[in-house]
Amino acid sequence: MNIFNLYKDHITGIVNNLVAAGTLPKGLDLSKVAAEPPRDFAHGDLATNVALVLSKPAGKNPRDLANLLLDPLKKLPGVTEVSIAGPGFINLRLAASTWADTLRHVLTIGTRFGDADVGQGAPINVEYVSANPTGPMHVGHARGAVVGDALAGLLAKAGFKVTKEYYINDAGGQVNSAARAVRMRYMQVLGRITEEDFQAALARKEVEYGGSYLIPIAETLAKRDGDKWASGDESAWLEPIKTFVVAEMMAMIKDDLAALGVQHDVFTSEKALLSAGKVDAAVKTLEDAGLMYTGVLEPPKGKTPDDWEARPQRLFKATEFGDEIDRPLQKSDGSWTYFAGDIAYHKDKMDRGFAQLVNVWGADHSGYVKRVKAAIKAFRSNAAELDVLLCQMVRVLNNGEPVKMSKRSGTFITMRDLIDEVGKDVVRFIMLTRKNDAPLDFDYAKVTEKTRDNPVFYVQYAHARGRSVFRHAKELWPDIDLSDVGLAQAKLDLLADPDEIGVLRTMAAWPRIVEQAALTHEPHRVAFYLGDLAAQFHALWNKGNDAAELRFLLADNQPVSLARLALVRGVGLVIASGLGVFGVEPVEEMR
């Protein structure tokens, strides 16, 4: 139940009636008509821009149009007052029973409150994490993982049919490098070379990955296969070791993701796409469409390409679809570029029936967005809508001091480090307190502090306080039914304090937040909403300190107490509903 949508429908109904009666012209575009909470509730409970939006097409000035709508609006159910303000806004005041009804509704459906149907069951694919299987995940991956997972949760709540997907880059040069590094570590494990030998090879750039995390993998390999791969040239051992490394890395990554509470529905392998011939097929589709040609690219500007060599290559006409330059799909050795594989991958997603795609990437991939969108557009017949969410850097701090990170020295912070340090729920919530395209500071001292400026604590504390009230209520009235069903029977019209009504108004906005955050792909809005709701609840709580008659529990007034318990429970349910979108557990009490 979204009361704003409800009244928007009422309003468009009224307009349609006036059109039918000939008072207003036919063919008005009602898509921009909105019913929303006013900036200041002193103006009313709900405001609509209908007169402003329809003014021009209806050929009437906004205030005249508003006057036409005045009477029918007054007759709407639950409307107690209608006024015209400013340039032509119409403010509606709603009956007090509206808020009681909302609360009763929350108590009845629980954390399902906020579920919306804007998605209308449409399939949508959210691809996130997709970290290379060459090493452990770091904080940047954690942000992408949380943003993608929360967005998926949000879209599901808004009525989309969501598939959570991970693309395994197991076919390119990176995994070859990882396999070579593991092979060398394996030789070290077998005692054929020393750590010094390894470091020397690293310095000579004979191996790319120097991280010690590869040693246990080499040990496992040695345990499984003995010295089977110690002799022979690369052609003999590269493929089997690569397969082994990718499997080990993916197991580790899935383990880390599980620790973060992230679980993908589908893992798609780049290598599998290749061997199934899907890359060849995708490129052939482009060839057949006349979107490929052989050409020579200009050298890239701005940086000095010391090994630049102009050579003719097979190019995709990306510029026809909004990209800056045409893009090569084949390397000089004849193998496909990463982009070619990605084209096939996105085509595959579209072929699987997704008309809406979301990719969550690190901001360092920003230059890649246009070419993928171009590729998608090139498959005109079933081109999907792609939105790419670029996540900015996460700066890890400890009490304001930047934590130095360097892969070389091995002091970089892994995702697992973060989770072990502060817990998965804190990681998840904090990662959502900034919009994805803004840089984020993650201070692992501050995010566990119990202060106002720690948003996780603040929201959890509100929930815990609510539970605390119930513990007291049970002591006070052991025999009263304090279940949600029981509380829904309370005399909710006893909630009359302006701040109580204010909280109810905010609760009633939750379904609207879900819809908007889902449609704009902005899960961070949920975090800010929860902060607002928590703030109002804390304020209400403290009013009880200043004025005893405003306390939730009044020993001598059970009816009012029950109504307020219903309110407290409602706030708790909405917080739980919001945290549920993030995959965060609400806490019963603070310890």
Q: Which of residues 350-369 bind RNA (CB under 7 A)?
A: 363-369
Q: With respect to RNA, which residue has the nearer C-beta, 378 or 456?
A: 456
What are the residue ranges of helices labelled H in 330-414? 338-351, 369-378
Residues that bind RNA (rule: CB under 7 A) add up to a total of 103
Q: Which helix (H) or strand (E) holds 331?
A: none
What 3-state DSSP class applies to 569?
helix
Q: Are 377 and 289 in contact (CB under 8 A)?
A: no
Binding span for RNA by CB under 7 A among 109-117, 190-198, 283-291, 310-318: 310-318
Q: Which stretch binds RNA (CB under 7 A): 35-43, 113-121, 145-153, 282-290?
A: 35-43
Residue with smaller CB distance to RNA, 153 or 586: 586
Q: Note whether 273 binds RNA by CB under 7 A.
A: no
Find the binder of RNA among 339, 345, 412, 510 (CB under 7 A): 339
Among 97, 194, 398, 520, binds RNA (CB under 7 A): 520
Residue 452 found at the interface with RNA (CB under 7 A): yes
Tell me how far CA of residue 115 lies from CA of 79, 84, 155, 577, in angstroms. 25, 32, 10, 9
Task: Return d(Cα 469, Cα 474) in angstroms, integer.
Answer: 9
What are the structure tokens assigned to 573, written together?
């349910």
Q: What is the closest distance, in whole angstroms, from the C-beta atom of residue 52 to RNA in the complex?
A: 3
Would you call 241 helix, strand, or coil by DSSP? Answer: helix
Among 392, 422, 523, 530, binds RNA (CB under 7 A): 392
Could you say whether residue 223 binds RNA (CB under 7 A)? no
Report the residue from 233, 479, 546, 556 that binds RNA according to the rule CB under 7 A. Answer: 546
**Among 507, 513, 527, CA closest to 118:** 513
Question: Is residue 453 a contact point for RNA (CB under 7 A)?
Answer: yes
DSSP character string of 518-534: HHHT-THHHHHHHHHHH
Instruction: Report if residue 233 touches RNA, rule: CB under 7 A.
Output: no
Q: Which of 309, 408, 409, 556 binds RNA (CB under 7 A)?
A: 309
Does the protein bind RNA through residue 477 (CB under 7 A)? no
- Which residue in the set 20, 56, 206, 493 belongs to the binding site for RNA (CB under 7 A)? 56
For the chain, the distance separating the N- and C-terminal CA atoms, rounded to the nearest angstrom, is: 36
Distances, alpha carbon 396 to alpha carbons 114, 419, 422, 440, 445, in Å:
33, 13, 13, 9, 10
Please state, in angstroms and rounded to a whole number, the distance separating the CA atoms of residues 155 and 357.
12
Q: Which is nearer to RNA, 220 or 468 (CB)?
A: 468
**Region from 95-103, 168-176, 181-189, 214-222 binding RNA, contact rule CB under 7 A:** 168-176
Number of H helices, E strands in the chain: 21, 15
CB contact at 8 A, 508 and 572: no
Three-class DSSP category at 298: coil
Per CB under 7 A, contacts with RNA among 525-544 are: 525, 528, 535, 538-539, 541-544
Residue 382, CA distances (Å) to 123, 350, 376 in order:
14, 7, 9
Instruction: Give the contact letters, 122-141, x = binds to RNA (CB under 7 A), - = no.
Output: ----------x---------
Sole binder of RNA in the list 76, 225, 551, 585 (CB under 7 A):
551
31 binds RNA (CB under 7 A): no
- Give me the amino acid identity at 547: A
Return the residue of 3, 11, 35, 49 that touches RNA, per CB under 7 A.
49
Q: What is the distance between the alpha carbons of residues 26 and 581, in angstroms, rounded to a whole number?
A: 42
Determine, following the binding rule CB under 7 A, whether residue 96 of this chain makes contact with RNA.
Answer: no
Q: Which is nearer to RNA, 171 or 413 (CB)?
A: 171
CB of 553 to RNA, least distance (A): 4
Of 356, 385, 346, 348, the residue nearest 122 (C-alpha): 356
